[in-house]
Structure 1
Amino acid sequence: MMASRLPVEAVLFDLDGTLVDTLPDITWCLNQVLLEHGCPTLTTETVRGYIGGGTTAMIERVATQFGVADALAMHQRYVALYQNNLVQFSRPFSGVLELLEGCRQLEVPLAIVTNKTEEMARQVADALLPQNTFGTILGHRAGRALKPQPDVAWEAARRLLVDPQRCLFVGDTEIDLKTARAAGMYSAAVTWGYGMTPALQAQAPNFCCEQPSGLLRILQQVCGTAHAFTEHGDTVKSY
């Protein structure tokens, strides 16, 4: 098949479920709050399904599930607890550090775009990811719309001085892929995180991979010339 040009000049990463496995700390903190409210605890798999839409949405869903009237108080307690336990159990996914080193060698600008609060995102990145890796780290803060609204992705592209149409948005949930589409960016679904593979595939991402090493191979292609191929479960569509 003839190669087609697919210029990618910057990569925007989601954080939770894409670069870092934060599920253990999120689950631990959420269960502490539930116990304080006399509620049963949740499994990591259940909490996994709540991640992606931001902390407020997660707490509201849990409060509704257990009939807790004061979701605001529950949210405030969770945030206070989580702030002090951000990286108790969280770790980068296997292969992510090698992926980021590969990106450094490619000299491609990187950003983190997450629905986690910006302060927490920076703390997690500072503690668990290589220093000076990301040109910008953007998370939720007052006045900024959450993903899948495209505003934060556009802001990241502006800060990296790259046209949004030359950006690749990498994430593990439908919200990330919808963000990429809304922002006019290429999308890459990663299946090692918290999203379900069929749901990700239903969003028709431009790329899909099962391991960080596969994503790096994709980047080595799309930062120059992309070929349609399938390798070790990692797929690239032809354009």
Structure 2
Amino acid sequence: MINTIIFDMDGTVLNTLDDLTDSVNYVLREFGMPPRNIDEYRSFFGNGIRFAMECAVPEGTPASVIDEMLPVFKDCYNKHCLDKTGPYEGILPLMESLKEKGYKMAIVSNKINSAVVELNDKFFSEYVKVAVGERDGIKRKPDADMVFAALDELQSTCEESIYIGDSEVDLKTAQNAGLPCIAVLWGFRDKEYLMKKGAKYFAETPEDVERIILENT
């Protein structure tokens, strides 16, 4: 019996692409590097900000330089993570409906923990009581640590839970945690790519998410 929903954040419940793009491009310019376009960033994000930065910088950029860039990004993004970011259409009604039906909900994200908490408090706190981001002592996705931490806080088990995400990282995270995964198609990856990565359940709209959950409850 499914009673717990674990959501990814970027590309799943929040459209964060513009603010992430602006913040990384700010850092690139500060370090004298050319900016990237939003379509490039769509494939960069999902594995944590260091991976995105490694993709964005010119080939051959030393790791030590990327080390210097990350604090600049974190400072910029913490200040501007709400400039253009907002829930995808239909997400709040989905969460409201799930809450009314008694489901527990959490968000897990490879974003900086402070940003995850702030964004959840801003947009979803009425529905989502647990938000877990990148922090010391918890391995990043696709490791299952974040999922297990969220389930512990919700007092739920893997057998009672389902995972909702938009990327190959989410598919692998769900697999590592032993959870079924619904792949949403409004995020950072397309259906063909997700199918190649093993996705079995697809949602074109938030209404599809609830339908699939109810079919598996």
CA separation of 1:54/1:219 partners in 2, compared to 1, >3 Å: closer, same or farther?
same
Q: What does residue range 92-111 of structure 1 map to in structure 2 within 5 Å?
A: 92-111=87-106
Unpaired stretches in structure 1, ≥5 consecutive residues: 1-6, 224-239
CA distance in 1, matches of 2:10, 2:181: 17
- Give CA deviations for 1:132-153 in whole Å, capped at 9, x if unaligned: 3113111110121110111211
**2:166 paired residue number:** 172
TM-score (norm. length: structure 2): 0.93
Deviation of 1:82 (Å): 0.6
Mean Cα deviation higher: 111-120 or 10-19: 111-120
* Structure 1 residue 203 displacement after superposition: 3.1
What SS does structure 1 have at the residue aligned with 2:50? helix
Task: Say which SS state the counterpart of residue 59 (structure 2) adopts.
Answer: helix
1:192 match: 186
Q: Deviations over 1:160-205 (max 9, x none)?
A: 1222122101000000011111111111100100023222112333
Q: Which runs of 4+ in 1 moved over 4 A?
A: none
Q: Can you give the 5+ residue segments of structure 2 that lack an aligned partner in the other structure? A: none
Give matches, 1:4-153, under 5 Å.
7-65=1-59, 67=61, 70-129=65-124, 131-153=125-147
Q: Deviations over 1:76-106 (max 9, x none)?
A: 1111111100110011111111111111111
Identity between Structure 1 and Structure 2 (%): 27
Q: Secondary structure at the match of 2:103?
A: coil
From 148, 154, 163, the equivalent of 2:148 is 154
The 5 A counterparts of 1:209-224 are 209-223=203-217
Distance 1:151 1:64 in 2: 32
Q: Following the alignment from structure 1 to structure 2, what is the Cα–Cα distance between the partners of residues 108 and 213?
A: 15
CA apart distance, 1:66: 6.9
The alpha carbon displacement at 1:18 in A equals 0.3
Q: Which has the larger radius of gyration?
A: 1
SS at match of 1:204: coil
Q: Which moved more, 1:63-72 or 1:182-191?
A: 63-72
TM-score normalised to structure 1 length: 0.85
Compute the displacement of 1:210 (Å): 0.8
Measured in 2, the distance between the counterparts of 1:65 and 1:26 equals 21
Aligned-residue Cα RMSD (Å) equals 1.6
**Relative to structure 2, which stretch is displaced further, 15-24 or 192-201?**
192-201
CA distance in 2, matches of 1:31, 1:185: 35
CA distance in 2, matches of 1:38, 1:210: 40
The answer to whether the Cα contact below 8 Å between 1:116 and 1:139 also exists between their aligned partners in 2 is yes
Q: Deviations over 1:20-54 (max 9, x none)?
A: 00000001111111122222211111011111111
Aligned to 1:232: none
Q: Using a 3 Å threshold, how does the CA distance of structure 1 residues 42 and 64 change in structure 2: closer, same or farther?
A: closer
Counterpart-to-counterpart distance in 2, 1:86 and 1:66: 29
CA contact (8 A) 1:39 1:66 kept: no
Q: Distance in 2 between matches of 1:21 and 1:174?
A: 17
- Contact 2:28-2:57 within 8 A present in 1 as well: no
